[in-house]
Amino acid sequence: MLVIASVFVSTLLIILGLRAEVRFRYMLVFTSLACLAVTLVLAHGMTSPLREMTAAAQAMARGDYSRRVRATSRDEVGRLAGAFNHMAADLEAVDRHRRELVANVSHELRTPISALHAVLENLVDGVQKPDPDTLGLALTQTARLGRLVSQLLDLSRLDSGAVPLQAREFAVRPFLVALTQETGALGGDVRFEVDVQPAELTARADPERLHQVVTNLVANACRHSPFGGTVSLHARRDDGIGSLRLEVLDEGPGIPSAERGRVFERFTRGGGSSSTDGGTGLGLAIARWAVDLHGGDISVAESSHGCRIRVLLPGDPT
């Protein structure tokens, strides 16, 4: 564009100079100065986005990701400005997510640490005796801290994407029965009901990752079920060999329809949950991640009472 503009201006000035019978040396000087002026003006306009990008990059280096560059043309510089703005928006979203993650993790850690600190301080001061109830409360808060740390480690694996699947065929009923026995302590007086049809049903998946899914779903169901309630696990064959349709049903308050799309996000709790119910807001996010690794689907299904979480696995994870 600069070359075209310079040639056009030079040609125009030469024609005008010839018609006005201006001496050649004067015409050459005026033509050169005019071309130089046109080039400077056009170059200043074309490099303006580059200067803005430099200033925006320096601002981002200081932690300000709100700066954007005006794309005033559709040429290479304009496309570069558009790509820069897209990159800046992505960095701003990542930085916002990082800040939210730090704030949420700090909040989740503070609650059990404060409770544990209070128990230990009372024991040291002699306000409370080290009886089974007091030690049990300390153990509960320690277990909550352990679950949060484990889930944060799972979350780091999620973000890195470095978790390969080790899929194999396994019997579903023994898998679910063993899992409910392992997690039974989390449910207190909650009863478990395992329904697998047919009884010899097998599925093809990664047992370790599926263990994460069901453990988080069962723990979540236990926390929200009433005293003496029942947590039910139903397993059936879905479409395809080795596929699995698994449902975990509790007798709690359920999840409002407006919140069902958000409960699988990090640090999001369902309707009746609070920061004191023992949950971290990470379990369902980790469950969705593990299901996604299998190429499956997890969702909140309709239920006449309680909450029903449905997991569909295709049987041939890739």
User: Looking at residue 117, which CATH number applies to its domain?
Assistant: 1.10.287.130
* Same domain? 203 vs 233: yes
pLDDT in tens, 27-84: 666 666 666 676 666 666 666 777 778 888 888 888 888 888 777 667 777 788 888 8
d(CA 222, CA 225): 5
* Same domain? 303 vs 172: yes
Q: Tokens at residue 129, please?
A: 């005796």
**Does 261 fall in a domain?**
yes
* Same domain? 194 vs 249: yes
Question: Which of 160, 180, 210 is the endpoint of a domain?
Answer: 160
Total domains present in the chain: 3
pLDDT exceeds cutoff 50 at 276: no
- Give the domain range for residue 245: 168-313
Q: Which residues, in sequence order, are CB contacts of 41 under 8 Å at separation 6+?
A: none
pLDDT in tens, 150-177: 767 776 766 666 667 788 899 999 999 9
pLDDT of residue 275: 46
* Same domain? 244 vs 283: yes
**Does 268 fall in a domain?**
yes
**Does 18 fall in a domain?**
yes
**Does 95 fall in a domain?**
no
Average pLDDT, the chain: 77
d(CA 238, CA 258): 28
pLDDT of residue 247: 94
* Same domain? 155 vs 174: no
Q: Which residues, in sequence order, are CB contacts of 142 under 8 Å at separation 6+?
A: 112, 116
pLDDT of residue 309: 92
